[in-house]
Chains A and B, each alone.
Chain A
Amino acid sequence: MGCMSCMFACARRVRKSISVAKSAIRIKTKGGYSSGNMVADHCLGCEEPPCIPFCPTGALVKRKNGGIILKADLCNGCKKCIEGCPVKAIFWDEEKKLPIFCIHCGNCVSFCPHNCLEIGEL
């Protein structure tokens, strides 16, 4: 319903930040509120993440069971991984100058007040 509780939870619990802009999940409408539906942009945990080949410095590593892990010390901040994500689920931390990735922890799910999100094993 667009309350963004999941986004606040991600920023708070994972990024240790009070800024909702640090969230790795983004809620938006499916073409305006009057379309009647919301969508969540988040990492789908691809088995073969298409963002990895876009990284020129090897900062992205395949995560067991899907998705990626960021080696922050190798990242040069080129933002090419953002272009490489076909579902637009990589975001940007303006303060740290690093990409924001989902770590599949489920904190967003536990703070959804109306059971709109769920998490499970693939």
Chain B
Amino acid sequence: MKIPKILYINLSDKTYFLKEREDLKESLGGTGLATDLFIENVDLNYPPLDSRQPIVLSSGYLTPYFPVATKSIALFYSPLTNSLGESHGGGRLGLAMKLAGIDAIVITGKSEKPCYISIYDSNVNIKPADPIWGLKATESATYIRDKEGMAGMRSILRIGTAGEKKVGFSMVIVDTYRHFGRLGLGALFGSKNIKALVVSGTGIGLDRDVDFEEYKKVFEELHKKVISGSMRKYHEYGTALNILPLNEMNALPTRNLKSGCFEKAEDISGEAFAENNMTRKFACAGCPLGCIHIAMRRNKFANEEEWERNEVSYDYELIYALGSLIGIDDRQKILKMIECTEELGLDAIYTGVFLSWITEAFEKGLLTSTDIELDKIQFGDTEGYMKILQNLIYSNNKFYSIARSGLSELVKIYGGYDFALLVNNNAVAGYHTGYANLIGQSIVGIRNAHTDNAGYSLDQEGKEFDPKTMIDLLIKEEIFRAFFNCTGICLFARKVYDMGLLVKVSEILGYKIKEDHINHIGSKIYLKKFIFKEKTGFDINNYKFPERFFETPAGKKRLSKDFVQEAVNEFKIRIERLKREYNF
């Protein structure tokens, strides 16, 4: 195993050092390494946005050595859920960290003034960011690009004004079109006065002593497999291709999940975007496939017919959250909403859930126009939603001051919990497919994200699972993904890299991992995070679901609370058994 090199940065005293952590060799990289670094640096005596709390960034241990190994992982104490925050990002970050000779970065402390962090070959410069504090995320990136070198071989992370204002669901943008989107990393950056972070390096140390002929052979086989196999669909239409099938199965959350079927789904489908709006595709560094779909938004920025074109990336989740969920059926308007979240630096999924809750709360009379500082709001009102998002950042009235902490705080004051689409205070992804999705995100899933264990995918197999089998399958997938996310391989390629291949590519790079050990590694990572969640208040015996998940049929049927309770009971048994097995 390679000894990971960790770059520690303390913003309070402007110090940094690189440390080789032989004791963390078994943590591999990605989520495994990030978990250990996070747990040893977080301090539960202080709140998530206290300057002592760490931001951990970790590159996958296979990044960027094999095709589609592109990911890096962020771990932090989430200000949104007051629990474990984990987000996965692509772009060039994983590659750039390796070019700099760094496997992971731990940032603590707080800069006295707005700053951006420039890392080159493990040398750190903390530079003033006063000129870009208050600017859109997009504008601040232009500033950094002009100031820093190594174009093409660097990664630029930045926040928008949402992060500066410490909005609980603010994100960090990675290289324009990728994100650490979920659970509020943007607020962590803002709390430390970090506007941006740029990483690059000469690449010294990137070369390794390997069986080169074997490496070349395996790399080139994988390259062919990726570009010619089942992954092609991600390049052609991207995840947006899921809009129509999910709508067909009545699982596309619409108008705050009052329904699972959007009557204008065809207009906002992946096919419609591809035929009418798509202008190009991008890829993360090291992915020959390229699943980042870009569409052109025509913007009339002033009167007198003054137009510009803006390039906006779209995906299934964004079309769901900023389309069907808030009743917008016009592709240009959806792109406008996406662009707005990009500029402000807000998690698009959470933003959609937030806006759809406000719309229904206003309909039901729980909110007034004084609260939202708008005459009225109704589903589909793009201009109204844009105004609400501006108010979220800049208004200091009671409603928006609370809203910046997230929906879970709003419902305590204004009510409406039962139609707030939250699981453990995180916003749900766009799959109202059935039990596996709901239980997978809320109970089994560590981050309360759909990609934790892909319950939505299990539901779509169309089989009737009993609670015990379903829990077994979800935990099995969650544990496998806990290991898989150490590698840095994108989850889209999980079927390309079967167990045998994972062992082989690891071995080529000097990581001796036996196939039957993968489950062991994944289980330990999963348990470490689960224990952290429990310590921060997750109580499976008192878990409450919003009623909306049961009111609106998931797929073709209504979900039964009895079934869910049985599944929760099964999970309790399984997790306790797992803890005993691994002495946790």
Q: Which A residues are closer than 8 A to B by beta carbons?
A: 1-5, 8, 12-13, 16-22, 26-29, 31-36, 41, 92, 94-95, 111, 113-114
* B322 interface contact, C-beta 8 A: no
User: Given known contacts A3-B286, A19-B203, A95-B207, is B141 in contact with A32 (CB within 8 Å)?
Assistant: yes
Determine whether the beta carbon of A16 is less than 8 Å from that of B212.
yes
State in angstroms the CA–CA spacing of A1 and B65 once bound together: 19
CB A57 to nearest CB in B, in angstroms, measures: 23
CB B146 to nearest CB in A, in angstroms, measures: 10
Q: Which B residues are closer than 8 A to A by beta carbons?
A: 64-65, 67, 95, 99, 138, 141-142, 145, 151-153, 175-177, 202-204, 206-208, 210, 212, 215-216, 219, 223, 227, 279-290, 292, 294, 310-311
User: Given known contacts A32-B141, A36-B294, is B282 in contact with A21 (CB within 8 Å)?
Assistant: no
Collect the chain B residues with CB atoms within 8 Å of residue A22's CB: 203, 207
Chain A residue nearest in CB terms to B287: A3
Most buried by A among B142, B212, B286, B292: B286
Chain B residue nearest in CB terms to A36: B311
Determine whether the beta carbon of B176 is less than 8 Å from that of A20.
no
Our pick among A31, A36, A41, A94 for the contact of B204 (Cβ within 8 Å) is: A94
CB B132 to nearest CB in A, in angstroms, measures: 14
CB A102 to nearest CB in B, in angstroms, measures: 16
User: Given known contacts A1-B290, A4-B285, A29-B151, is B212 in contact with A18 (CB within 8 Å)?
Assistant: yes
CB A7 to nearest CB in B, in angstroms, measures: 9
Determine whether the beta carbon of A26 is less than 8 Å from that of B152.
yes
Q: A1-B283, A20-B286 are in contact. List 8 more A-B contacts (CB 8 A).
A: A2-B282, A2-B285, A3-B289, A4-B286, A20-B95, A28-B151, A34-B176, A34-B310
Name 19 interchain pairs, CB-CB below 8 A, sorted by A: A1-B292, A2-B290, A3-B285, A3-B287, A3-B288, A4-B283, A8-B286, A18-B208, A19-B207, A21-B99, A26-B152, A29-B152, A31-B145, A33-B176, A36-B280, A92-B202, A94-B203, A113-B223, A113-B289
State in angstroms the CA–CA spacing of A18 and B223 once bound together: 14
Collect the chain A residues with CB atoms within 8 Å of residue B294's CB: 36
Chain B residue nearest in CB terms to A4: B285
CB B140 to nearest CB in A, in angstroms, measures: 11
State in angstroms the CA–CA spacing of A17 and B399 once bound together: 57
State in angstroms the CA–CA spacing of A94 and B204 once bound together: 6
User: Given known contacts A18-B208, A21-B203, A22-B207, is B311 in contact with A12 (CB within 8 Å)?
Assistant: no
State in angstroms the CA–CA spacing of A94 and B153 once bound together: 15
State in angstroms the CA–CA spacing of A34 and B280 once bound together: 11
Chain A residue nearest in CB terms to B281: A1
CB A16 to nearest CB in B, in angstroms, measures: 6
Our pick among B153, B287, B311 for the contact of A26 (Cβ within 8 Å) is: B153
CB A91 to nearest CB in B, in angstroms, measures: 10
Collect the chain A residues with CB atoms within 8 Å of residue B290's CB: 1-3, 113-114
State in angstroms the CA–CA spacing of A19 and B63 once bound together: 11
Collect the chain A residues with CB atoms within 8 Å of residue B177's CB: 33
Chain B interface main SS type: loop
Chain B residue nearest in CB terms to A3: B283
Determine whether the beta carbon of B223 is less than 8 Å from that of A111.
yes
Determine whether the beta carbon of A32 is less than 8 Å from that of B176.
yes
State in angstroms the CA–CA spacing of A13 and B223 once bound together: 14
Determine whether the beta carbon of B207 is less than 8 Å from that of A34.
no
Determine whether the beta carbon of A18 is less than 8 Å from that of B141.
no
State in angstroms the CA–CA spacing of A94 and B201 once bound together: 11
Determine whether the beta carbon of B219 is less than 8 Å from that of A12.
yes
State in angstroms the CA–CA spacing of A13 and B290 once bound together: 22
State in angstroms the CA–CA spacing of A17 and B213 once bound together: 10
Collect the chain A residues with CB atoms within 8 Å of residue B288's CB: 3, 5, 111, 113
**Which 8 pairs, one residue from A and one from B, show the smallest C-beta to C-beta distance?**
A21-B203, A28-B152, A3-B283, A33-B176, A19-B206, A94-B204, A19-B207, A113-B288
State in angstroms the CA–CA spacing of A35 and B279 once bound together: 12
Determine whether the beta carbon of A21 is less than 8 Å from that of B176.
no
User: Given known contacts A22-B207, A27-B152, is B285 in contact with A113 (CB within 8 Å)?
Assistant: no
Chain A residue nearest in CB terms to B215: A18
Collect the chain A residues with CB atoms within 8 Å of residue B285's CB: 2-4
State in angstroms the CA–CA spacing of A26 and B285 once bound together: 12
State in angstroms the CA–CA spacing of A32 and B95 once bound together: 17
Collect the chain A residues with CB atoms within 8 Å of residue B141's CB: 32
Determine whether the beta carbon of A95 is less than 8 Å from that of B204.
yes
Our pick among B99, B142, B204, B289 for the contact of A32 (Cβ within 8 Å) is: B142
Collect the chain B residues with CB atoms within 8 Å of residue A21's CB: 99, 153, 202-204, 206
Chain A residue nearest in CB terms to B154: A28
Collect the chain B residues with CB atoms within 8 Å of residue A95's CB: 204, 207
State in angstroms the CA–CA spacing of A95 and B216 once bound together: 20
State in angstroms the CA–CA spacing of A20 and B66 once bound together: 11
Collect the chain B residues with CB atoms within 8 Å of residue A114's CB: 290
Collect the chain B residues with CB atoms within 8 Å of residue A3's CB: 283-290
State in angstroms the CA–CA spacing of A61 and B316 once bound together: 53
Determine whether the beta carbon of B279 is less than 8 Å from that of A36.
yes
Collect the chain B residues with CB atoms within 8 Å of residue A13's CB: 216
Determine whether the beta carbon of A33 is less than 8 Å from that of B282.
yes
Determine whether the beta carbon of B283 is less than 8 Å from that of A2.
yes
Collect the chain A residues with CB atoms within 8 Å of residue B223's CB: 5, 111, 113
State in angstroms the CA–CA spacing of A60 and B145 once bound together: 33
Collect the chain A residues with CB atoms within 8 Å of residue B207's CB: 17-19, 22, 95
State in angstroms the CA–CA spacing of A29 and B212 once bound together: 31
State in angstroms the CA–CA spacing of A38 and B204 once bound together: 25
